Amino acid sequence: MRLLHTSDWHLGRSFHRESLLSAQAAFADHLVETVRAERVDAVLVAGDVYDRALPPVDAVALFDDTLRRLRGLGAHTVIISGNHDSPVRLGFGAGLMDRIHLRTDPHQAWVPVVVNDVAFYGIPYLEPELVRTPWGLPERTHTAAMTHVMDRVRSDAAPAKVVLAHAFVTGGAASDSERDIRVGGVAHVPLRVFDGVSYTALGHLHGRQTMSETVRYSGSPIAYSFSEADHLKGSWLVELGGAVEFVPAPVPRPLTRLRGRLDDLLALPPLGDWIQATLTDPVRPKAAMERLRARFPHTVDLHFAPDEAAEAAPARPRLAGRPEIDVALDFVREVRGEPADPDERRLLEEAAMACRIRETMA
Ligand SMILES: [Mn+2]
* pLDDT, tens digit (0-9, with 9 covering 90-100), for 22-70: 999 999 999 999 999 999 999 999 999 999 999 999 999 999 999 999 9
| Residue among 117, 107, 35, 115 nearest 68 (CA) | 35
| Mean pLDDT in residue range 162-178 | 92
- Kindly indicate the confidence band of residue 315, based on its pLDDT and cuts at 50, 70 and 90: low
Whole-number Å distance, alpha carbon 84 to ligand 1 midpoint, is 7
Which residues span the domain enclosing 109?
2-248
Q: Which residues surround ligand 1, an ion (CB under 5 A)?
A: 8, 48
**What is the pLDDT confidence band of residue 298, given thresholds at 50, 70 and 90?**
very high
The residues, any chain, with a CB within 8 Å of residue 305's CB and separated by 6 or more, are 259, 278, 279, 280
* 179 and 55 belong to one structural domain: yes
Q: Taking 80 as the threshold, does the pLDDT of residue 311 lie above it? A: no
Q: What distance in angstroms lies between residue 352's CA and the mean position of ligand 1's atoms? A: 50
Cα 251 to averaged position of ligand 1 atoms, centre (Å): 18
Please say which residue of 224, 248, 272 terminates a domain. Answer: 248
pLDDT at 182: 60
Ligand 1 center–CA 317 separation, angstroms: 47
> Please, are residues 40 and 63 in contact by the beta-carbon 8 Å criterion?
no
Read off the pLDDT of each residue in 150-176 and give the average, rounded to a whole number. 94
Q: What burial class does residue 81 get, using C-beta atoms within 10 Å of its C-beta: 0-12 exposed, 13-18 middle, 19+ buried?
A: buried
pLDDT of 290 > 70? The answer is yes
Q: What is the pLDDT of residues 117-148, one digit of tens each?
A: 999 999 999 999 999 999 999 999 999 999 99
Residue 179 and residue 59 share a domain: yes
Residues 159 and 141 both lie in one domain:
yes
Cα-Cα end-to-end distance for the chain: 54
User: Are 276 and 157 part of one and the same domain?
Assistant: no
Of 248, 268, 300, which residue constitutes the final position of a domain?
Answer: 248
Alpha-carbon distance 310 to 298, whole Å? Answer: 29
Residue 111 has a pLDDT of 97
- Distance in Å, CA 327 to ligand 1 centroid: 48
- Do 40 and 142 fall into the same domain? yes
Asked if residue 322 and residue 221 are part of one domain, the reply reads: no
CA of 204 to the centre of ligand 1 (A): 4
The alpha-helical segments, DSSP class H, found in the chain are 21-37, 57-72, 87-90, 128-135, 142-155, 262-266, 288-295, 308-312, 324-336, 342-361
* Confidence (pLDDT) at 184: 44
Indicate if 200 and 308 belong to the same structural domain: no
The single-letter code of the amino acid at 199 is Y
- Amino acid identity, position 347: L
pLDDT digits (tens, 9 = 90+) for 214-231: 999 999 999 999 999 999
Q: Long-range contacts for 29-35 (Cβ within 8 Å, ≥24 apart)?
A: 30/249, 30/250, 31/4, 31/6, 31/66, 31/70, 31/221, 31/235, 31/249, 32/66, 32/69, 32/70, 32/73, 34/4, 34/235, 34/237, 34/247, 35/4, 35/70, 35/73, 35/75
**Single-letter code of the amino acid located at 151:** D
How far, in Å, CA of 20 to CA of 199, rounded? Answer: 31
- Let me know whether 22 and 51 are in one domain: yes
Residue 48 C-alpha to ligand 1 middle, in angstroms? 5
Which CATH number covers residue 61? Answer: 3.60.21.10
- Out of 205, 230, 248, a domain closes at 248
- Considering the domain architecture, whether residues 155 and 302 belong to the same structural domain is answered as no
> In percent, how much of the chain has pLDDT > 90?
78
**Average pLDDT in the 156-166 region?**
95
> Ligand 1 mean position to 243 CA, how many Å?
26
In total, how many domains does the chain have? 3
Per-residue pLDDT for 5 more than 50? yes
Q: What rounded mean pLDDT belongs to the chain?
A: 92
Q: With 80 as the cut, is the pLDDT of residue 357 above it?
A: no
